[in-house]
Structure 1
Amino acid sequence: MVKERYKIDGFLVFYIIVAAQVGVGVLGFQRVIMSKAGYDGWITIILTGILFHLAIYIIYSILNRYKTDVIEIQRFIFGKWIGGFINLIIAFYFLYNSVTVLTTFIEVIQVWMFPTLSSWVLGFLFCSLIYYIVSGGFRVVTGMCFLGFFITIPLILFLLFPLEYSDFVPLLPIIQKPIGSIVGAISDSMISFMGIELLLIFYPFIKNPEKSQKSAQFGSLFTTVLYLLIIIITFGFFSEDQLERTIWATLSMFKVAEFSFIERLEYVTVTVWVFVVVPTMILYLWASSRIIKRTTNFSQRKVIICLLLIVLISIVFINSRIEINYLNQAVNYVSFYLIFAYIPILFILSKLFYRKYRRTMK
C-alpha cells in the first residue's frame, strides 16, 4: 500500500498523461505519417487518438477492479515467477523508451545547437538531473510534469506564424489515400501517443484513483488535438516533397517566427523543450525502477543509478541517424503490441481471475 502522503490529487493525472505523450516525437512525427497516409495523415491522428481513449478505458477497467498496480495483478494471474518475469520485461520496455527519448533529443541538440558537443557530456548532464528528480519520489516527478506543461504551452502560439505562408488546398479532397494506408499509419504514430501505459504503475499513487479516469481521458484528448493542429499546419506549410526531406518539421516551422530581440527562435524552442523531454524520461525511469524494486526488493535509488548508467552507456554507442531511427521504429511496434494486444488480453484474464482474487483477499 502507498501511504497517503505520497499520493497525488486526481486532476494531476492530466499533466502526467500529457507529459508522457508529448515528448521529443512531436518535433518530427509528421514525415513518418506522411510517408504512408499522405495528406490524409490528420485522419490517422484522429483514429489513433480514439484508440488511445479506448485503451485508457481498458486500463482503468483492469486497475479499478483490482485496486492495485499491474505489478501485483500480473503476479496473481501468472504466478510469482512468470508474473515477475513479465514485470521485468515491462521494466525493460520503459527503460528502452527512456533511451530512445534521450538519444533522439540529444541528436536534436547536436543538429540544431551544438554539433561538436559529445553525446556522453549531454547524457551525463541529463542523467544527473533525472536522478535528482526521481530520487525525490513520485510527487516530485508529478510536480515536474505540471511545471513542464505551463512552461512549454506558450510555444504552441509560435506555430501560428506559418499560417501566413500555408496553403491547405492539397488536403482536399479528403481520403486521397487507400483506407488501408491511413489505418496502417497508426502503428507509425505510436511513438507520439505512447505513455498511457504508465498508468499501470502509478495508479496506486492517485487519491481516489477510480475518479481520475476523466483527467486521463482529457489529457489524451489534449494530446490528440495538439498533434492534429500541428500536422494540419505542417501539411499546409510544406509540400509533400519538402516534408520527405525534413526530419524535424515542427522545429523548422519555428524558424518562420521572427522577433527583433530573438535572432534564432529555434534555439529558444530546443532549450525550452528540455522541460518536455525531462518529464517524459523521469516518468519512464521512475516506472522502470519502481517495477524492479517491487519485483526484486532492491532499493529504488540503487536501481535508478544502475538504470541511468545503462542509459548513459547506450547514448555513447547509439549516435547515428540510422541507429536512432531504428530505435524509434522498434518502440513504435513494441508499444503498439503492448497497448493494443497485451493489455486487452490482460483485461480478459483479469475478469476471469477476479473471483479467485476476491476469495484470496478475504
Structure 2
Amino acid sequence: MNGSQGKLTTTQAVVIIVNYMLGAGILTLPRTTSKAVGTPDVWISIMLSGLIITGIGIIMVTLCRRFPGKTVFQFTREITGNWIAYILGFAMIMYFTVIAAFEVRVMADVTGMYLLERTPTWAIVMVFMWIGIYMISGGLGVIVRVFEIILPITIIIFVIEILLSNQLFEIGNLRPVLGDGFMPVFKGLKPSLLSYTGYEVMLIMTAYMKNPKKSNKAMSWGIFISTTIYLITVVMVIGSLSVDGIKTRTWPTLDLVRSFEIQGLIFERFESLLLVIWIMQIFSTTAITHYCASVGIRDLFRTKKIKGIMYGLLPFIYLTAMLPKTVDDTFALGDMLGNTSVFLFAILPLVLLLISLIRKKGGKHA
C-alpha cells in the first residue's frame, strides 16, 4: 500500500490528466497533423484520436483497478516476474524523464523566441527546472492544488483568445469535407498521438485515488476536455490560416493569435498572454512527468526517499533537454516519444491485462 493512498478526488484526477495533456502539443498540433493529412480534414483525425485514446485509457485503468493502491511499477512485478518488470519499469521511467526534458526544452525555445530574446536556452531551462523541483518536492497534494489554479485560468483565457480570432475565420478553409476520402484522415492519427500523451499518468494516479472505481470516469472526462480544446484550436487555426498556410509555420497557434489585434482593450496584442498561460501549462507537464519518474524509481527499487530521487533526476532532465541543437531536433525527439508511447502505453497495458487475467493475478476491481 502506498503512503499517499486516498488523496485524489475524481475531479482532481481529471485536472491532472488535462494539465499533463495540454503541453507543447497545442502549439504544434495544427502543423504536424496538417502536414500528415494534407487536406482540411484534420479535425476528423483529432476526433478519431480522442476516441481511440479513450478506449486505450479505459483498458489502462481497468488494469490498474485489479491492483488497488499499487502503481504500475509495483504491480507489473506480480504479473510478469521481477526481470521483465525491471525492464518495463526502467523504460517507463526513461519515458517520463525524457518527456519532462522535451517539454522544458519546447518551453525554453518558445520563451526564447517570443519573450526572452537573446537569453541562453540553458538559463531558461534551469530556472523552470528549479521552480518545478520546488513544487513537486511538496508532494502530490501541492501539485494538485497548483494544477487546480492553473487549469481554469488556462481554459478561460485560451477560449477567449481563440474565439477572438473569429474575425479571420473562413469556413471555406475547412472544405471540402473528406474530399480525398478517409485515407488522409488515417494518416493524421499518428502525429496527433504525441499531443494525447498524458493519459498514461493514470497508471500511477489510480493508486492514489479515494475512489478508484471512478477512474474510468476521470479518464473519459480528462480526454474529452483535452480533445475539445484541441478540436477548437485546430478548427480555428485551419479556418483562419488554411492548411497550406500552416505547413510552413513552426508555431501556428501562436501565429494565429499574433495575426489579429483589437483596438481599445487593455491588451491589443494577445500572443504574450497566450504564451504566459501556455508556459504554465507546459510547466505542469514537466512537473508531473518529473514526479512520475521519481515515483517510478522509488517503487521499482522499493526505497522511501523520493526527494533525493527528484534531485538526482535533475541533471538527466537538464542534459536531455539540451541535446537537441535546433527546433527540428526538438520535434524529432517529440516524434520519437510519440512512437514510444504507442508501445509502452497503448499496447503494453492490454498485454499486461490479458496476462493478469490468464494468470489470475490481482484482485477484483477496486
* Same-fold call, TM cutoff 0.5: yes
Equivalent residue, structure 2, for 1:344: 350
Match of 2:341 among 329, 335, 357: 335
User: Does the 8 Å contact 1:46/1:224 carry over to 2?
Assistant: yes
User: Does the 8 Å contact 1:13/1:215 carry over to 2?
Assistant: yes
What is the rounded CA distance, in whole Å, between the counterparts of 1:146 and 1:12 in structure 2? 8
Cα displacement (A) at 1:4: 6.1
Match of 1:224 among 219, 222, 227: 227
Structure 1 unaligned regions, length at least 5? none
Higher percent of residues as helix? 1
What is the rounded CA distance, in whole Å, between the counterparts of 2:331 and 2:36 in structure 1? 16
- Does residue 270 of structure 1 match 2:275? yes
What is the rounded CA distance, in whole Å, between the counterparts of 2:84 and 2:255 in structure 1? 47
1:141-220 equivalence runs, <5 A:
141-155=143-157, 156-220=159-223
- Does residue 322 of structure 1 match 2:323? no
What is the rounded CA distance, in whole Å, between the counterparts of 1:16 and 1:340 in structure 2? 19
Question: One-letter code of the match for 2:177?
Answer: I
For 1:192-245, what per-residue CA distance to the aligned partner results, in whole angstroms no more than 9, with x for missing partners?
111111100121111011123212211110111111111111111012321111
Q: 1:6 to 1:312 in 2, by over 3 A?
A: farther
Q: 1:97 to 1:4 in 2, by over 3 A?
A: closer
User: Does the 8 Å contact 1:103/1:319 carry over to 2?
Assistant: no
Q: 1:4 to 1:289 in 2, by over 3 A?
A: closer
User: Does the 8 Å contact 1:30/1:249 carry over to 2?
Assistant: yes
Deviates more, 1:132-141 or 1:149-158: 149-158
Match of 1:135 among 125, 134, 137: 137
What is the rounded CA distance, in whole Å, between the counterparts of 2:342 and 2:184 in structure 1? 16
For 1:275-328, what per-residue CA distance to the aligned partner results, in whole angstroms no more than 9, with x for missing partners?
211111111111100010111244211111121111122333324112111111
Q: Calculate percent identity across the aligned residue pairs.
A: 21
What is the rounded CA distance, in whole Å, between the counterparts of 1:243 and 1:267 in structure 2? 20
User: Does the 8 Å contact 2:65/2:206 carry over to 1?
Assistant: no
Equivalent residue, structure 2, for 1:52: 53
Question: One-letter code of the match for 1:290?
Answer: V
Q: 1:45 to 1:183 in 2, by over 3 A?
A: same
> How many residues of Structure 1 are paired with residues of Structure 2 in the alignment?
358
Question: One-letter code of the match for 1:65?
Answer: R
Deviates more, 1:91-100 or 1:305-314: 305-314
Equivalent residue, structure 1, for 2:12: 12
Q: TM-score normalised to the size of structure 1?
A: 0.94
Deviates more, 1:208-217 or 1:51-60: 208-217
Q: 1:208 to 1:79 in 2, by over 3 A?
A: same
Cα displacement (A) at 1:124: 1.1
SS of the counterpart of 2:66? helix
User: Does the 8 Å contact 2:96/2:290 carry over to 1?
Assistant: yes
For 1:88-125, what per-residue CA distance to the aligned partner results, in whole angstroms no more than 9, with x for missing partners?
11010111111111111111111112221011111111
